[in-house]
Structure formats: C-alpha cells, structure tokens
Amino acid sequence: MLLAMPACAMAQDDQPGDTITFSTGIDYSSGRYTQPQSTDIMVGLSSIALTTGAWRFSASMPYLNIVGPPYVVVGPTGDPILVTQKGAANSTIRDGWGDVNLGATYTWQPFGLDS
C-alpha cells in the first residue's frame, strides 16, 4: 500500500492543470459567382475549450453576414450556391448566429510511450 501511494501522487504530478482557451477569427470573401452583382460574405467564429487531463471539451458558434443577390445562398460546405436565375436585382442582407457546435475529445496515450 505504501508503494502504491507515491505512484498515484507521481501520476497526478505528471498531469497538466486545467486550461481554458478562447479563440476568434474572421473570414471575408467576395465574388460575382457568374452574376452581375457581387456577393459579400463575412463569417466571425468564436470558440472556447476546456482541457482537463485527457479530456477536451469545446463549443463554438459562428456569426454570418451575407450581402448580395437574394437568390444566392451559402451551402453546407460554405460555398455560395446559385438557387435560381430569377429574383430581385437589389441586394439583400442576411445575418445572424449559426449553429452551436459542441465537441468532446479524449486523448489516449498508449502504454510505454513517453510524451
């Protein structure tokens, strides 16, 4: 029992403390996408993550601002998609918060490998 206690204490000392990270960024793109009028897209993304031991928990949520023809939308891969040639000639503004993305990751360290 005395030999097991120092091993547990040593294993705890090797573990880094909990860390919280916050990151943010902005992406801007503009193009005509075969149309006479340009489409401007700005995406702001903020994320926060907590790392504790071998676990990492994260959350992120984008904010989108799209200015352009009302018949151009953003597809699931982030690429603009021309919905139809018909539509108003004026620009429309579409903006708002995107979906919340949650994540959890466990990092497994194989036995016998030093980090």
Q: Is residue 71 part of a domain?
A: yes
Evaluate whether 62 touches 96 at the Cβ level (below 8 Å). no
DSSP result, 7-20: HHHHHHHHSPPPEE
Q: Is residue 2 part of a domain?
A: no
pTM: 0.59
pLDDT values of the chain reduced to their tens digit, one per residue, 115 residues: 333 333 333 334 445 689 999 999 999 999 887 778 888 989 999 999 999 999 999 999 999 998 887 766 666 676 666 665 555 557 788 889 999 999 999 998 777 666 5
Q: What is the DSSP letter of 5?
A: H
Evaluate whether 72 touches 33 at the Cβ level (below 8 Å). yes
**In terms of C-beta distances under 8 Å and separation of at least 24 residues, what long-range contacts does 107-111 make, across chains too?**
107/54, 107/55, 107/56, 108/54, 109/54
Q: Is residue 101 part of a domain?
A: yes
Q: Is residue 1 part of a domain?
A: no
State the residue range of the domain holding 71. 18-106
